[in-house]
Amino acid sequence: MAGLFISFEGIDGSGKSTQAKLLAKALEEAGHDVVLTREPGGSTGAEEIRSLVLEGDPDRWSAETELLLFTAARRDHLERLINPALAKGKIVITDRFADSTRMYQGTRSGDLRNMVDQLHELVIGREPDLTFLIDMDPDIGLSRAKGRGGTEERFEDFGADLQQKMRTGFLDLAQQYPDRFRVIDGTRDINIVAKDVLRIANEVVNSLKSSA
């Protein structure tokens, strides 16, 4: 089978990493070769960039510099981890990818979306085959994310208004790319969400097998 590239997207605290892990485990148990990864990060260089963008003062970077840092991290992640794994026929599951940049950097300050799209074209040029949007009310997501603690709070500090804008923006993106997006109601019990996600992933895996 050719490799399969799956991403999880959604606001902070929506349950992306929980669901990415559960899907990876279920697909591994079914005998697939799975690589579970995340952004920003996923490769050594990109993990170093991660701490630059997620820690410290919220005004630490201009919007443009921040976009370049996230994009540099993604390029490294793609070159070192994602592309080689896909070339070996593996299933790559990433907790966030380029849709997060479209939302967070593309709508945060002025309208950087054009620059986000141009940079993506120029140095990334790859979309996932399947994207799960874990959708939920930002108040629930934010209280879950805050409950986690830790130092990576630059974005969580932007608060509920930003999260609301992100939620709407993600739902718009799902309409813009209906072929790869599946919107999942993340307010339900973890195992019910996981069952939904696995059913959809299996449909895509099976359709790839039958077209191989």
The contact set with ligand ADP (CB under 6 A) reads: 10, 12-18, 144-145, 147-148, 189-190, 193
Residues contacting ligand TYD: total by CB under 6 A: 16
User: Contacts from 60-69 at CB under 8 Å and sequence distance 24+?
Assistant: 60/154, 63/105, 63/108, 63/109, 63/110, 63/112, 64/112, 64/115, 66/105, 67/101, 67/105, 67/112, 67/115, 67/116, 67/119, 68/119, 69/40
Of the residues 6, 23, 37, 39, which one makes contact with ligand TYD according to CB under 6 A: 39
The answer to the question of residue 135 lying near ligand TYD (CB under 6 A) is no
Strand 4-9 and strand 130-135: the pairing is parallel
In the complex, the smallest distance separating the C-beta of residue 136 from ligand ADP, rounded to whole angstroms, is: 9
CB nearer ligand ADP, residue 68 or residue 165: 165
CB atoms within 10 A of CB 164: 15
In the complex, the smallest distance separating the C-beta of residue 30 from ligand TYD, rounded to whole angstroms, is: 26
Q: Taking contact as CB under 6 A, which single stretch among the options 12-20, 126-134, 191-199, 203-211 is the one that binds ligand TYD?
A: 12-20
Interacting partner of 124 out of ligand ADP, ligand TYD, none (Cβ under 5 to 8 A depending on kind): none
In the complex, the smallest distance separating the C-beta of residue 12 from ligand ADP, rounded to whole angstroms, is: 5
Separation CA 71–CA 62 (nearest Å) = 14
Cβ contact 62:35 at 8 Å: no
Q: What is the 3-state secondary structure (H, E, C) of 10-41?
A: CCCCCCHHHHHHHHHHHHHHCCCCEEEEECCC
Interacting partner of 40 out of ligand ADP, ligand TYD, none (Cβ under 5 to 8 A depending on kind): ligand TYD
Place of tokens 């630490």: 60
The answer to the question of residue 94 lying near ligand TYD (CB under 6 A) is no
The answer to the question of residue 76 lying near ligand TYD (CB under 6 A) is no
Separation CA 72–CA 148 (nearest Å) = 27
Of the residues 21, 25, 33, 54, which one makes contact with ligand TYD according to CB under 6 A: 54
Of the residues 7, 19, 100, 131, which one makes contact with ligand TYD according to CB under 6 A: 100
CB nearer ligand ADP, residue 13 or residue 42: 13
